[in-house]
Structure 1
Amino acid sequence: MKKFSYSFLASTSFFYWRILWGIGLLGLSACEKVIDIDLKDSESKIVIEGNVSDQEDTHYVYISKTVPFSASGTYNPVQQAVVDITESVSDSMIIVGGIGLKTERTFAEVSPGVYQVTHFKAYPGRTYTLHVKVGDEEYTASSTMPMPVMIDSIGTVTDDFFGDDGKTVGVVYQDPPGVKNYYRYLVTLNGKPTNLVFAYNDKYNDGKQVQRNLYHEDLDLKKDDAVMVEQLGVDEAVYRYFNGIQSNNPGAAAPANPVSNFSNGALGYFSAHTVSQAATIIQ
């Protein structure tokens, strides 16, 4: 699974001030000198990626730290964290001694920075809270799993792009009326998961039958490609996170980090979601 890591690396104004200062010194000297630009590394931040779904009973949490500008590596796993998940059920669903039922499980570290819990089934309508402790710092995120929305059909969508036929995949589903729904899509191409981000809400199609065409400039589909789509039903906070990634302009001078649902300044997200899958061969 692809990880994300975000870090604001250096102060732009500081960077340009040092350049101008160095050029000034160079102009005053008759001999050549090396201009030493002192780039400041940003503070390392915790990045947490956690998911539980209604289709699996084994779930994973990935914990790392952002990598400083001067570092040579790209992934910095966090080991020996304490990771727990709590399930809360409202009083209207299950009552135990007059209090909503709560269960708690602990994740085990199965490889550096990768934490796993097994035999843990998650259910729609319940709220899950992930607790992560790294040293003396604690991070918490909650996610409520929505009711599932199933894919009704899947197929090839062909459009004309400047005289050339472009192909993508489309799914059809019935959006529930009167309920705010948020969707995230995962696309697997010829058995290989892509890292493309698709996030949508039902603001303009509440209660309607929807055909969602998954267009992306990096999704280059050809005839006979095998495509699997997973439609995830997510809550609003998780939608905002992935919509933030989707909306970031790669050409921006300082793209913003997507809004995390974790406390205490951690980056990343925790999602409790439903899953509906469908597969097709591109025609």
Structure 2
Amino acid sequence: MANRLIYIPVFILAFFVISSCEKVIEFDLLESEEAFVIEAIITNSKQPFTVLVSKTSPYFGAKSNHPVSGAIVSVRAEKGKAKFFDEIEPGVYQLRGTIASAGYWYIIDVEYDGVNYTAKSFMNEVVPILDLSFSYFDGFGFFDSGYKVNTYIRDPAGTENYYRLKYYVNSRIADDKGEIALYTDQLFNGKDIGLGQRSQVFQETDTLTIELQSIDKAVYNYFSMLESISGGSLQQTASPANPVSNFSNGALGYFSAYTFDRKTVVIKDYIRK
């Protein structure tokens, strides 16, 4: 059974395994640059949690990613005790047996070669997926034909909320056609809304899993800037334009503490209801 630490006044600590299906973010650097890169995610999942640490260096014009071994990685709720990750393979740090809860700030510390890199992220409440709807798109030009999906939610009133949608087809992350599906409730605060996507289509026989992530503002801004820079391809275009990280001391990457809800359907069964 996973440990659940509640701050009344005890603090909650928890961690999430970065999905092996997640795309790796690539950073373009100046010829003489070397960058420290951290990708860390904490969610309300019971799965073990992972932090990826690497260095990115250009050699003769080509980017090279090097796992960083020997870092000290820990996470804590604000004012809480730190829990430490084990390095399970070079550059991959994992912690098991703890669960995060919404409503708290979480802090990641990565210490390496005498430098401490710190980031904090706020975990918002889960926003459930209420329903889905599908409409057929005929396609044209470079756009494939298939079913587009709307994901319906009830946005919590009175707070700023930020979302990211991810799609998995037959248990594999869907080709996003260069689109990062991000949303802010600035225009629909407290309302029922259907969240759609511009480019992705799915086929009638697909088993589709939709993951609705409730992210914080800093992470929304990070991915929004990334999409603006690179057209959503999760690859930076130039070193001066890399998105602003929430890590200190010049580290690239991001730390996100988010909750999520998932819904899985077989499209042909759903549209024939």
TM-score strictly above 0.5: yes
- The residue type equivalent to 1:202 in the other structure is D
Shift of 1:50: 0.4
The answer for the alignment partner of 1:240 in structure 2 is 221
2:94 corresponds in structure 1 to 116
Identity %: 34
Instruction: Calculate the aligned-residue CA RMSD, in Å.
Output: 2.4
Q: Counterpart in 2 of 1:224?
A: 205
2:24 corresponds to 1:3: yes
Partners in 1 of 2:198 and 2:145 — Cα distance? 13
Q: Aligned partners of 2:98 and 2:104: how far apart in 1?
A: 13
Question: Which segment drifts farther, 221-230 or 69-78?
Answer: 69-78
Sort the Cα spacing of 1:42 and 1:282 in 2 relative to 1 into closer, same or farther, 3 A: farther
CA contact (8 A) 2:145 2:201 kept: no
Residue in structure 1 matched with residue 124 of structure 2 by the alignment: 146
Match in the other structure for 2:168: 188
Aligned counterpart, 1:209: 192
Letter aligned with residue 110 of structure 1: I
Asked if the contact 2:54–2:91 (Cα under 8 Å) also holds between the matched residues in 1, the reply is yes
259, 263, 267: which one aligns with 1:274: 259
C-alpha contact (below 8 Å) 1:155/1:280 kept by paired residues: no
Q: Give, in whole Å, the separation in 1 of the partners of 2:246 and 2:175.
A: 21
For the 8 Å contact 2:47–2:96, the answer to whether it is kept is yes
Q: CA deviation at 1:194?
A: 3.5
Query: Looking at CA atoms only, which structure, 1 or 2, has the larger radius of gyration?
Result: 1
Tell me the CA shift for residue 232 of structure 1: 0.7
TM-score by length of 1: 0.77
Aligned residues: 238
Give the drift of 1:7. 2.6
> Which residue of the other structure, out of 81, 85, 108, is the alignment partner of 2:71?
81
1:175 partnered with 2:155: yes
2:211–2:263 contact (8 Å) kept in structure 1: yes
Alignment of 1:98-117 (within 5 A): 102-117=80-95
Query: Which residue is 1:52 aligned to?
Result: 42
1:249 deviates by: 4.2
User: How many angstroms apart in 2 are the aligned matches of 1:82 and 1:195?
Assistant: 34
Q: Give the distance between the partners of 2:73 and 2:213, measured in 1 at CA.
A: 24
Unaligned runs of 5+ in 1: 10-40, 89-100
